Each structure stands twice: as C-alpha cells, then as structure tokens.
Amino acid sequence: MRFLLTNDDGWGANGLKLLERVASRFGEVVVVAPQDPQSGISHQLTLERPLVLIEQASGSYSLNGTPADCVRIAVTQLELDFDWVLSGINHGANLGADTYVSGTVAAAREGWLQGVNAVAFSQYHKRRKSQPFEWGPAEQLADRLLGELLKKHGSDSRCFMNVNLPDLTQETLSVDEVGIKQCELDPNPLPTTYLQVDAGFVYDGDYQGRPRKEGCDIDICFSGNVAMTVLG
C-alpha cells in the first residue's frame, strides 16, 4: 500500500506531519507538498513557469506550485504507483461551500481525476488560527478513520471523500465517543462580510456563526462529530 500525501498549508505544516505519522502505520508514504501555504487556491494549476521538485528528506518533496500541481507531478513524474492520495490535515475546516475554494480538497480531487482513491482531511478549529491548537485528538481520529476507510474501500474501487474532524479541545467528549456521520455538503453560502481598511477590504466573515442545515456537514462537525462527505 502506497500513499501520496499533500496539503495546502505547506510542506512543514503540523497537520501534514501528523497525517504522515498516521499513514506510515498502514503503508509506504511519499510526500509532495507546496513549498509555501496555498490556502483557498482551489484547483489552480501552474502552466506558465517551471515547477521545481526538491527532495527535503527521503521520500518527502516540496514543490513551488499548488496542491493540484503537487499531485499531478507526483503521479506523472515520480514513476511510482499510488493507491491513495491523502490531503491535509488542513488547519481549519473545509465544509459546505469551502470545498469549492479549498486547495486541500482540490488536491484530493486531482488524485481522483488521476484514477487514485483520494481523501481530504480537515480539522475544524473553533478559535482563531493564530492560537495554539492541540493536535492529539486529530491524530487519534485520523488513525481510526483511515483504518476504516482502507477496510471499506479496496485499492480497486475509486472514491473521493471530504472528511472534517471536530474540535475536541473544548469538548467533554473523548475520541472514542465521537460519531462518524456520512452526510451531504451544506448548501448555504460562505459568510461574505468585509471590513474596509484604508483603501481596501479585509475579509471578516463569521465562520463560527455561519448558517447550517440540520444533518449536513457543517451541523455535524460543529456538533462534535466527524463529517464525511462522498464527492466522487
């Protein structure tokens, strides 16, 4: 079993290191991730300049491109066959309309388009990203989820899934008590509030207070459960 790992937070991100630890328990891991953060870049591809692949450690590469670039280069240029593309773990949720702008989800989508099983993992964070986050529950949940996915989906059956982990740092629930709910994407739009600063505008949408439809991914994740959505 060989996994290709990538993300949109960049090669040195904590979530990617966590996912690498988890995936290595189940098989061989190769990392190809953007050299710089690429959050919100969706499925953008680099077509007008050379892409440079640098081996930062054995089997772990950075690329001066987008998350989707990383998957394309890995699949077409490394001369390796991959059973799964795992993208993440993103520092922040990718729920509902987020999935259309997320580089994390786009990387998994590119893997699926290349004929490989693919899962995007994201970690909901109730507080601001600038505040420290305890990744321990995420590692336990990711280990449990990946094991279940590998049992359910063999390498011969293609799947493309978006998984959002709940923020358990302020909850009384233990990891073992967290439910895994398969659900649909929430149809509500993203919050689009902006503040005017000098001559420009700065995004100031209330992510935590966004509208949510009962039983859809935002509601499930915000309620302390894993939201799992089949996208392909």
- Residue 193 and residue 205: Cα distance in Å, rounded? 5
- Residue 71 and residue 114: Cα distance in Å, rounded? 9
pLDDT for 128 beyond 70: no
Domain region containing 36: 2-230
| pLDDT value at residue 63 | 98
* Mean pLDDT calculated for residue range 95-107: 97
The sheet that has 117-123: what strands, in order across it? Answer: 53-57, 60-63, 28-34, 2-6, 84-91, 117-123, 160-165, 226-230, 180-182
pLDDT for 87 beyond 80: yes
Asked if 124 contacts 162 with a C-beta cutoff of 8 angstroms, the reply is: no
Instruction: Kindly report the CATH number assigned to the domain that includes residue 27.
Output: 3.40.1210.10
Count of domains for the chain: 1
pLDDT for 30 beyond 70: yes
Give the pLDDT band (50/70/90) at residue 125. confident
